[in-house]
Copies of this chain bind each other. A is one copy, B any other.
């Protein structure tokens, strides 16, 4: 099951946590744990078992401490998830931007695509407020630099990046969520379809949905055989970037 909100607590406390601004206390016992250790254990758990299986108790068990000890370092689960998001955001590679804007955006999209593959639980995080941590900001800055200096204004830059990333997220969702479910349920998508198809045939009048039936059967067949698993990602990215190209050319023509 699952899912989870982030960023519901006191903003000041959350920011202090994300940016790790708290001087080590002089009094008291030495901390046996750290925010980083907790966050990294939580990420490992979410990677292997999904966000739905992530509980404070399991994180604590993995670290060999009592559950409530975590709350010495982290105000609540929502803030822990904020930290997880910020931490994995640092993982994307950021080579110096070279080449044209299109190659740059392709690289940015690919980095995000890979990030979702490493951490599919990112797709299940319900972000109620933006996570403003060092990792997220650095990633955003890098991604914006890919399209800086093209004559787009700031709102346009933001908009362009959003379309690209929305596409990546959608494509990742389509591919990864079913994979995660296969792991959880022990039932592959093929098996699921095999179980569903006969019933569906009896229950649904295909002629009432002619186009859906046609497209559904062809794509089901082709994706199983002819197309690589990231075809949806690559295809959509081309469309989006073609659209961005129209804008960029208009702006550079008027400059």
Residues of A within 8 A of B (CB): 1-5, 7-8, 10-12, 15-16, 19, 21, 52, 77-78, 123-124, 126-129, 132, 134, 137-138, 140-141, 144-145, 148, 153-160, 162-163, 165-167, 169-171, 174, 177-178, 180-181, 184-185, 189, 192, 195-196, 199-200, 203-204, 208-215, 218-219, 222-223, 227, 231-232, 235-236, 238-247
Contact = CB atoms under 8 A, between A and B. Distances in A.
A145 B213 CA distance: 11
A212 B165 contact: no
A200 B127 contact: no
Contact of A8 (B181, B196, B210): B181
Given A3-B126, A15-B200, A154-B215, 16 more contacts: A2-B5, A2-B126, A5-B181, A11-B192, A11-B196, A137-B212, A140-B212, A141-B211, A148-B211, A159-B236, A162-B232, A163-B170, A166-B170, A239-B247, A240-B243, A242-B246
A62 to B, nearest CB: 21
A16 to B, nearest CB: 7
Given A167-B166, A211-B145, A215-B154, A239 B235 contact: no
Number of copies: 2
Contacts of A78: 1
A219 B154 contact: yes
A175 to B, nearest CB: 11
Contacts of A213: 141
A251 B225 CA distance: 24
Contacts of A211: 141, 144-145, 148
